[in-house]
Structure 1
C-alpha cells in the first residue's frame, strides 16, 4: 500500500503541474477578462474595488502552480487508495489499463457530472455572499455522484450474482451506468439551480472560462492516470521509478496483498 500511495502522490503532483500550465494558457485569460468586466462596472457605478491583497501576476503563476500541485498530490493519494481497493474486485485487467480506466471514471464522477449541474463561474462574477451556499451545493453534488456510482456498481453486482447466466459482464457494466445516470439525474432535478450571471456578461468570456475549467480537470486526471499507470506497471515488474529499484517479488507481493482482499473481478 505504501508503495502505491507514494507513487500516487508523486503522479498527482506531476499532474497538478501540467494542469497549472493548461489553466495558465487557457483559463487565466478568461479570468482576467472577467476581472476587467467587474472593474469596469465598479468604475461606472463610481465605487472603488476591493484592494488587491495578492498581486494578480503572482496569483496566476506561482499561486496557481502551488495550488494545483498540492491539490493534485492530494487527489493522487486518494486515487492510489481507490486503485488498491478496486483493481481486482471491480476493474480487473493489468494495472496500467485499470489505472487509466479508474482515472476516466473518476473524472466523470468526481468532476464532470457535478460540473454539469453547477458549472464554474469566473471568480469576479456572482454574489460574494452566496459563495458558501454555492460551494455547499457543489460539494453535495460531488458526494451524491460518488455515492450513486458505488450504489449502482453494488446493485449491478447483486443482479449478476442472482442471474449470472443471463447477464454478461458487459451487461453488468451497462446496468451500473444506467443506474448511476438515473440516480444523478434525479438528484440534479431535486437540487436547486443557481443563476447569478449578469445578463450583460460576455458569453465568450464565460464559455472560455468553463472550457478552461473542464480542460484543466481533464488534463489533471489524464496525466494522473497515465503517470500512475506507468508507476504501477513498473512496480509490479520490479523496474525502478523515481525511488530506486524494486524487486519484482516485493512489487508483486505488496500490490497483491493490497488488492486481493477485495476479491475477484467484476
Structure 2
C-alpha cells in the first residue's frame, strides 16, 4: 500500500471517528447524563448529611449544562477522531494479513478487535464508576492500572493474532483461530488474577445506579466502534476499490487534470 493510500485512509479514519463520536455523544447525553446527575445528587446528599444539613454548593466554574453538552461533545469528538486515525493505521497494517477478507470486512474486524482490546477487556477488570465512587487520593493509582490493562490487552491481542497466523498452515484457519482465542482468554484471565482489584464503591451507593451507569458506559464504547467500523468500511472501500469502467466515477478519474 503506497503512502498516498495510507494518507487517504488516515483522513477517512478520522472522519469516521468524528461520525462515531457524534453518535457516541448522543448515547452519552440521552442515556448517561441522568445517571451522572443521580450520582452527583447522592454525593451532595452525603456531604450535606456530614455537615449537619448545612451543605453549601461550591461555585461551579463550568455549569452542568455546559459540561453535558459542549464539554462532553468536544471531549468525545476529539477522543473519537484520535482513535479513528489510529484504527485506520491499524487497518492499513492488517489488510490482507489476517485472511482473505474484503475491505469492509477488514474494517469491521479491526473495529471489533479494537472494541474488545481497548474497551471491553479493561472494562471487565476496572469498570467505569459514576461520580461519588472512588477515593480521590487513589485516582492516580486507578488511572495507572486502567492504562496498564489497556496496554496488556493490546499486546496480548497482537500476540494472539501472530499466534493464529503461525498455526494456520498446520491447523487450518478455523482451528488456529480457536487456539489463539483460547490462549488470549487464558492470558487475560491471568492478568485479571495478578493485577490488584479496585473496589471503592460506598456500601450505601445504589447498586442499580452503578449498574446502569456501567452499562451505559459500555454502550457508548460499543456505539463508537460499531459506527466507526461501518462508516470507515464504506469510505475505505471507495479509496481502495476502483470504480467499474463506464461509471461516472471512473470517467471522471480518467479525465486528465
- Please give the TM-score of this superposition, normalised by the length of structure 2: 0.89
CA distance in 2, matches of 1:198, 1:124: 8
Is 2:199 aligned against 1:191?
no
Deviation at residue 233 of structure 1 after TM alignment: 1.3
Deviation at residue 236 of structure 1 after TM alignment: 2.3
CA distance in 2, matches of 1:248, 1:207: 54
Partner residue in 1 for 2:119? 111
CA distance in 2, matches of 1:249, 1:193: 57
8 Å CA contact retained: 2:43, 2:131: no
Partner residue in 1 for 2:41? 36
SS state of the match for residue 171, structure 1? helix
8 Å CA contact retained: 2:98, 2:165: no
Deviation at residue 248 of structure 1 after TM alignment: 10
CA distance in 2, matches of 1:24, 1:92: 39
Partner residue in 2 for 1:66? 74
SS state of the match for residue 143, structure 1? helix
Distance 1:231 1:208, change over 3 A: same
Partner residue in 2 for 1:262? none
Distance 1:221 1:115, change over 3 A: same
8 Å CA contact retained: 1:9, 1:74: yes
Q: Which runs of 5+ in 2 are unaligned?
A: 1-5, 244-248
Partner of residue 212 from structure 1, selected from 213, 216, 228: 216
Deviation at residue 91 of structure 1 after TM alignment: 4.5
Per-residue CA deviation, residues 137-196 of structure 1 (Å, 9 max, x unaligned), is 0110011111111112222323334xx2xx110111111111111111100000000010
Per-residue CA deviation, residues 49-89 of structure 1 (Å, 9 max, x unaligned), is 55422111100111111111100000000000000001111
Is 2:233 aligned against 1:229?
yes
After superposition, the CA RMSD in angstroms is 1.9
CA distance in 2, matches of 1:50, 1:144: 40
Deviation at residue 103 of structure 1 after TM alignment: 0.7
Distance 1:201 1:160, change over 3 A: same
Partner residue in 2 for 1:14? 19
Distance 1:41 1:65, change over 3 A: same
Is 2:92 aligned against 1:87?
no
Per-residue CA deviation, residues 237-261 of structure 1 (Å, 9 max, x unaligned), is 346xxxxx799989xxxxxxxxxxx
8 Å CA contact retained: 1:23, 1:212: yes
CA distance in 2, matches of 1:171, 1:230: 30
- Please give the TM-score of this superposition, normalised by the length of structure 1: 0.86
8 Å CA contact retained: 2:16, 2:228: yes
**How many pairs does the alignment contain?**
241
Equivalences for residues 93-172 of structure 1 within 5 A: 93-161=101-169, 164=170, 167-172=171-176
